[in-house]
Amino acid sequence: MPNRNSLWSRRRLPVCFTLLLVALAALAAAQPIERPHVALLSIDGPIGPATTDYFVRATEEAEEKGAQLIVLQMDTPGGLDAATRDIIQHILASPVPIVTYVHPAGARAASAGTYILYASHIAAMTPATTLGAATPVQMGGMPGAPGEQPDDKPSGEKGGESTEDKEGKNGEKKDSPASGTAMERKMVNDSVAYIRGLARRHNRNADWAEKAVREAATLTATEALEENVIDIVAGNNEDLLKQVAGRKVALAEGELAISPSIAELPLESYEPDWRNEILALITNPQIAYILLLIGIYGLIFEGYNPGALVPGIVGIICLLLAFYALQVLPINYAGLALIIVGALLIVAEVFMPSFGALGIGGVIALVIGSVMLIDTDVPGMQVSRKLIGAIAGVSGLALLGILMAVGKSLRKPRVAIENALVGRTAIVSGIQDGDVLVHLDGEIWQARCDQPLQPGQRVKVVEQHGLFLRVEPG
């Protein structure tokens, strides 16, 4: 007779072997499969925290999967300074060459896009595209709007400089004194030093880069190639890869020659995943602004109605999401404070009627705070004026409704508190030990009646004695 232990061991061996195979298969599936390819990324619109998150995650994933080259297609009007610098730092530290390609025709690499283009290992553009206008105008971002020009008084005016003063005795052009406030000059000089450093790293035109910052200069694709601002003008991705093949680029680890057969590798697109989509949604200034208002009003209504739960839960969630978004956006804290005060004043009008003084002040504070909230001129990174107007309109209508309700209540005849329920209609909710329970204004009252009643029957209050009511069928 065979040993039971030996039989169990022989039966257990195939099961363990199967489990081992399953574990190895799961481990293999978790590891990215490396195969040579060209990674294609895309930035379309303002550069913000979500853009940085997408770019960093996508490039790291591409490196793990064996990308030999990363092509970043870009069409942007500008972006936030912090997000732009994070992208540039990642480009400079990348072990894989990154080609920034302004595409398609009609696209632009304005402001922050110009800095990214200069930082890239290879800078390329499609015909009929532009770059430049890299003047910083606020600490919050690089919107690409031209800054104020230096003093342009004619030399004949009092206080103006003569031609000899401007050009020097030997005809050499002298630098004009910097215009603007000390903070503006610091911002411009910092940006100039930054972009000139990027230009020298890749042997590009540093003088024009400075001009793009100081004078908001712009160039077309053809002009940029002639000025040694970019390396390639290509009509499409295939043309781009053919021109990139064999070029030498300067990486952080040293010089690297791109494979001559790079154009033969498959082109694999890396789209934003669900995390990037959620981050992009939350950090949209319009969404962050709406979440902030929902959070504030939710907590206020929960405070005035303890135990309602829903306003409080929704308010806390929305407020936390709003604060997360606002901490990565350039906000004005005075504007945030005005929005909170404005919401409190509007709600206070309900409980402390001031015939509009509190409510009107709240609407004004809400509108001013909303305009001030996002402290940047970057296109796409501001709260829409239409949205602010809509919020102000809804708040004004709510205030008007409150004032009408207050006015209506003041016109009602005054009734003693002990007779406040007399004449009201209630619904019989049940009968218990001879006492009738009636439902009135969301409350359950004990009542008595000389006639038999049935649950669900409508009754009329004829007398009120403390917490007891006398009713009759109504």
Question: Degrees (nearest 5) of the Cα angle 269, 274, 278?
Answer: 125
Calculate Rg over the CA atoms of the chain. Answer: 35
176-185, 264-273, 351-360: lowest mean pLDDT where?
176-185
Averaged pLDDT for residues 4-14: 54
Burial of 428 (0-12, 13-18, 19+ CB in 10 A): buried
Which tens digit of pLDDT belongs to each residue from 392-421?
A: 888 778 777 767 776 676 666 665 556 677
Chain-wide mean pLDDT for the chain?
Answer: 80
Q: Please tell me the pTM assigned to this model.
A: 0.68
Averaged pLDDT for residues 39-68: 92
Please, which pLDDT band fits residue 193 given cuts at 50, 70 and 90?
very high
Residue 142 has pLDDT above 60, yes or no: no
Which amino acid makes up residue 451? Q
Residue 177 has pLDDT above 80, yes or no: no
Res 438: pLDDT: 84
Pairwise pLDDT comparison (142 vs 247), residue with the higher score: 247
Pairwise pLDDT comparison (27 vs 380), residue with the higher score: 380
Residue 308 has pLDDT above 90, yes or no: no
Pairwise pLDDT comparison (131 vs 11), residue with the higher score: 131
Res 459: pLDDT: 87
CA–CA gap between residue 90 and residue 402 (Å, rounded): 54
Domains located in the chain, CATH noted: 34-152+180-272 (3.90.226.10), 283-411 (no CATH), 417-473 (2.40.50.140)
Pairwise pLDDT comparison (276 vs 308), residue with the higher score: 276
Res 148: pLDDT: 40
Averaged pLDDT for residues 370-394: 80
Averaged pLDDT for residues 292-317: 83
Res 12: pLDDT: 58
